[in-house]
Structure 1
Amino acid sequence: MKVLVTGGVRSGKSFQAEALVVGEPVVTYVAPGPEADPESDPEWAERVVRHQDRRPGHWATAETADVAATLRATEGAVLVDCLGTWLTAQLDELDGWDKTRDEWEPELLARVDALAEAVGQHRGTVVVVTNEVGMGVVPAHWSGRLFRDLLGVTNQRVAAECDEVHLVVAGRTLVL
């Protein structure tokens, strides 16, 4: 089973995603963003700790921006949380905030395709969490619009490899 879980910030999407794999005997939790730095961002660090405390002790954790390689190398169920932090890491690595789009977009889209393909080819359960950022106000800054548009493309490509997409709003889940 492959599931994309989407929703707004603090909607309950991570809790829903965890519930989908809690009964699996082997689970790898993939955190594709930067490690929390309690001194520079205590709120982010606190949220990371809350997520860790919720997880069963037998779950393995992989902190990596190379989610596709991790999916190819991992047995059992995989929970990826979340595509927004993955996309940010990719844009940072490709210097997408400072270079022209033509300089980095083909490589980024190749990475998106590799990630989507790895989701589809994984032999176990895969649950991928993402943010739904395109339903609100149009961002005032180009970087916000760029991120929104690229996350929309990423979400669509990963969703195409999934059996289901779950939309979480206010802790309630709608299977699309």
Structure 2
Amino acid sequence: MRVLVTGGVRSGKSRHAELLLVDRPRVTYVAAGPVYDDADWATRITAHRERRPATWTTLETRDVAGVVASADAPVLVDCLGTWLTGLIDEAHAWEAPSAELAELAAARTAPLVDALAGVRVPVVLVTNEVGLGVVPEHRSARVFRDLLGRINQDVGAACDEVHLVVAGRVLRLGDPIGPAR
């Protein structure tokens, strides 16, 4: 089982992803994003931790492909949007040309897609659904939206199912159109 769970902010996507694996005694929960020194962020992280079973292991890393490739127990990755933010932050690349950012994202996404193809344990990945609203005013937001949209397509094509969560409701999406080009 490889499932990509997508949706907007506060749609219930993380809770849904957790429920897909809640009956598993061992799960590696991958917190793939940056850590912010912010009270609101800390409150959000605490709420996520308190919701998860005590038997789950939390791993803070951006090596999502490595974790998936070596997994011997189910994996939950939350989330690809914060993972992408962390990748761009690490590379100090927010002002880089779009083509350079696309190469950075593709270079990190390809190993994840490969790992998903060979994984033998359940993997659930959470991501943000982007691009349903207005065109962002700032370049960094437009670039982020475009990159995450491509990552979502590539990872979604590598998964058995894609679940869209809106207002706490789940819609299982149909067949993929294939990886983004």
TM-score tier after normalising by the smaller chain length: over 0.9
Q: 1:96 aligns with which of 54, 69, 93?
A: 93
Please tell me the root mean square deviation across aligned C-alpha atoms, in Å. Answer: 1.2
Q: Secondary structure at the match of 2:158?
A: coil
Q: Secondary structure at the match of 1:160?
A: helix
Q: Hey, what's the Cα distance between the residues in 2 that align with 1:60 and 1:131?
A: 23
Normalised to the residue count of structure 2, the TM-score between the two structures is 0.91
Normalised to the residue count of structure 1, the TM-score between the two structures is 0.93
Q: 1:136 aligns with which of 108, 129, 133?
A: 133
CA contact (8 A) 2:4 2:126 kept: yes
- The Cα of 1:108 is off from its aligned counterpart by 2.5
Q: Hey, what's the Cα distance between the residues in 1 that align with 2:109 and 2:66?
A: 12
Gap runs ≥5 in structure 1: none
- The Cα of 1:107 is off from its aligned counterpart by 3.4
Partner of 1:55: 52
Instruction: Output one character per residue of 1:10-46: Cα deviation in whole Å (capped at 9) or x when no partner.
Output: 0000000000001112200000012353xxx111110
The one-letter code matched in structure 2 to 1:46 is: T
Paired residues for 1:62-141 under 5 Å: 62-141=59-138
Q: 2:159 aligns with which of 162, 165, 170?
A: 162
Partner of 2:177: none
Count of aligned positions: 173
Q: Hey, what's the Cα distance between the residues in 2 that align with 1:102 and 1:145?
A: 13
- State yes or no: 1:27 paired with 2:24: no
Q: 1:174 to 1:130 in 2, by over 3 A?
A: same
The one-letter code matched in structure 2 to 1:57 is: A
- The Cα of 1:133 is off from its aligned counterpart by 1.3
Q: 1:150 aligns with which of 147, 157, 173?
A: 147
Q: Hey, what's the Cα distance between the residues in 1 that align with 2:101 and 2:29?
A: 28
User: Which segment is superposed worse, 140-149 or 66-75?
Assistant: 66-75
Structure 1 stretches of 4+ with a deviation exceeding 4 A read none
CA contact (8 A) 1:27 1:77 kept: yes
Gap runs ≥5 in structure 2: 174-181
The one-letter code matched in structure 2 to 1:117 is: D
- The Cα of 1:103 is off from its aligned counterpart by 3.8
Instruction: Output one character per residue of 1:126-175: Cα deviation in whole Å (capped at 9) or x when no partner.
Output: 00000001111110111110000000000000001101000000000000
User: Which segment is superposed worse, 142-151 or 86-95?
Assistant: 86-95
